[in-house]
Amino acid sequence: MSEAALHYPLTRAVLDNGLELVVAPDDGAPGVAVNLWVTVGSADETPGRTGFAHLFEHLMFQGSANVASGEHMATIEALGGTVNATTSSDRTNFFETVPRGALELALWLEADRFSSLAITPENFEAQRQVVKEEKRQRYDNQPYGDLLELLMGQHFPTDHPYGHLTIGSMADLDAASLDDVAGFFASWYRPANLRLVVCGPVDVDEGLALADRHLGRLDALPGGRRAVVPAPKPVGPTVATVTRDVPHSLAYLSWRTPPAAHVEQPAIDLALAILADGHTSRLHRALVRRGGLANEVHRVNLTHRSTSSVAALLGRPVDGVALPRLAEAILEELGRFAGDGPTAEELSRAQAQYEREWLWDLATTSGRADAINESWLIHGSPDHVNLHLAEVLSLTAADVAAAARRWLDPSAVQQLHYVAEATR
């Protein structure tokens, strides 16, 4: 494993107010990434108060004491930089990549909005409407827009922390008051819940000093703590069938798998890749090229920090093939794979593809900073970013087969048959 370990230099520190940070120097990089993760996501919301984590992804760009609404993004882009934010069930991240000379400005901008965000009635109402329009565009008025909600509903009850979509309930947002929203910010957007990664052509001492100068002035307050997430109750295999106005019918087969940090997650990911990634995958060769049962096959791996993850295999049948027949064929091929394991060629190809994609993600300072923060959140250490690839490349065919048998058991599958109206 040591031969495949990476060696990106990382210096970790904690400011007096509790904010944790890593400086990852890269003298040859053309820009410096500032990557801030707030350790709050939709899984930290309470029933009846969902959608708040995602709402702040928007509100954080609506101005602060010294920055007008929209000016944070406009300033970074005017310098030739990039800036954005995303939300998941486990975190909200804010990130920008700027020219070397704009690092201090970027940190000042972050400090200003974290210390004095303009949570006003006008901003709240405007962004509430933006989120509702996003919900309409991405979910309500899109083919397959409810697919993720249906899939997750087979594994988590609606009152489970991971049982609702990150975008939240529009009814909850409509019912929310300004005090509710401000209280969420006050509880979670504190230095003790922030993790900052600065990656690029910056000296460690300078990076630490600049972070302390600007973000170190945030008030030191105890961080919000995630409640203990209960394990979802065991469920037997089910088949759910829905009919929708969509272009194609789809068969989704899904399983509960362990949390993201579990030692077998890399093997599960390789198993899914061997089964359904690309035209050389097991399922493509068996069901598309030879069997004539499917037009395409894919896989999904939705990992969670604090509870079961969800893995899925999906297929689109050719005309005349019913979804139950396609699902049966996928499970038959999965059973053979779990029994025999991957061939040496299949394993080598999947590991090579994984290595290429992982190194590609780390090639830019923005991608590396995000991967460092993800390793930090999931594995408890930013240094895991240097070890992860070695773990994947050390896996054997027996490891992958064992993970498939344990976690992708055909007898434990949840099936979602998503039927196109025309093929009903």
- List pLDDT tens digits, range 285-309: 999 999 999 999 999 999 999 999 9
Model confidence at 1, in pLDDT bands (50, 70, 90)?
very low
* Residue 224, domain member (yes or no): no
* Residue 230, domain member (yes or no): no
Q: At 301, give phi and psi (nearest 5°).
A: -135, 100
The answer to whether 203 and 210 are in contact (CB under 8 A) is: no
Query: In terms of Cα–Cα distance, which of 161, 112, 170 is closest to 139?
Result: 170
Interval 400-414: pLDDT, tens? 999 999 999 999 999
Give yes or no for residue 162 having a pLDDT over 60. Answer: yes
Residues 183 and 267 in one domain: no
When pLDDT is averaged across residues 100-118 and rounded to a whole number, the result is 98
Residues 193 and 243 in one domain: no
What share of the chain has pLDDT > 90, as a percent? Answer: 94
* Residue 186, domain member (yes or no): yes
Residues 213 and 151 in one domain: yes
- Residues in CB range of 10: below 8 A, 6 or more apart: 22, 23, 24, 372, 382, 383, 385, 386
> Which residues share a beta bridge with 419?
243
* Residue 87, domain member (yes or no): yes
Q: At 366, give phi and psi (nearest 5°).
A: -70, -45
* Residue 222, domain member (yes or no): no
Tell me what the pLDDT averaged over the chain comes to: 96
Residues 309 and 210 in one domain: no
Q: Structural domain of residue 80, as residue ranges?
A: 2-217
Residues 280 and 381 in one domain: yes
Question: Residue 423: its pLDDT value, please?
Answer: 59
Domain boundary among 185, 217, 249: 217
The answer to whether 272 and 299 are in contact (CB under 8 A) is: yes
Amino acid at 400: V
Residues 177 and 267 in one domain: no
Residues 130 and 198 in one domain: yes
CA-based R_g, the chain, Å: 23
Interval 198-220: pLDDT, tens? 999 999 999 999 999 999 999 99
The answer to whether 16 and 218 are in contact (CB under 8 A) is: no
Q: State the Cα–Cα distance between residues 285 and 196, nearest whole angstrom.
A: 44
Interval 318-355: pLDDT, tens? 999 999 999 999 999 999 999 999 999 999 999 999 99
Residues 38 and 124 in one domain: yes
> Which range, of 228-232, 358-362, 387-391, averages the lowest pLDDT?
228-232
Model confidence at 385, in pLDDT bands (50, 70, 90)?
very high
Question: Residue 2: its pLDDT value, please?
Answer: 55
* Residue 135, domain member (yes or no): yes
Q: State the Cα–Cα distance between residues 195 and 14, nearest whole angstrom.
A: 9
Residues 255 and 201 in one domain: no
* Residue 225, domain member (yes or no): no
* Lookup: tokens for 167: 């975008």
Domain boundary among 217, 249, 278: 217
Number of domains within the chain = 2
Q: What is the CATH number of the domain that holds 364?
A: 3.30.830.10
Residues 203 and 253 in one domain: no
What share of the chain has pLDDT > 70, as a percent? Answer: 99
Model confidence at 28, in pLDDT bands (50, 70, 90)?
very high
Model confidence at 233, in pLDDT bands (50, 70, 90)?
confident
Model confidence at 57, in pLDDT bands (50, 70, 90)?
very high
When pLDDT is averaged across residues 21-46 and rounded to a whole number, the result is 97
pTM comes to 0.95
* Lookup: tokens for 117: 């965000």
* Residue 232, domain member (yes or no): no
Residues 79 and 189 in one domain: yes
Query: In terms of Cα–Cα distance, which of 286, 242, 91 is closest to 154?
Result: 242
Euclidean distance between the first and the last CA atom of the chain, given in angstroms as a whole number: 52
Residues 16 and 163 in one domain: yes
The answer to whether 97 and 37 are in contact (CB under 8 A) is: no
Task: Estimate to the nearest angstrom the gap between the alpha carbon of 31 and the chain centroid.
Answer: 24
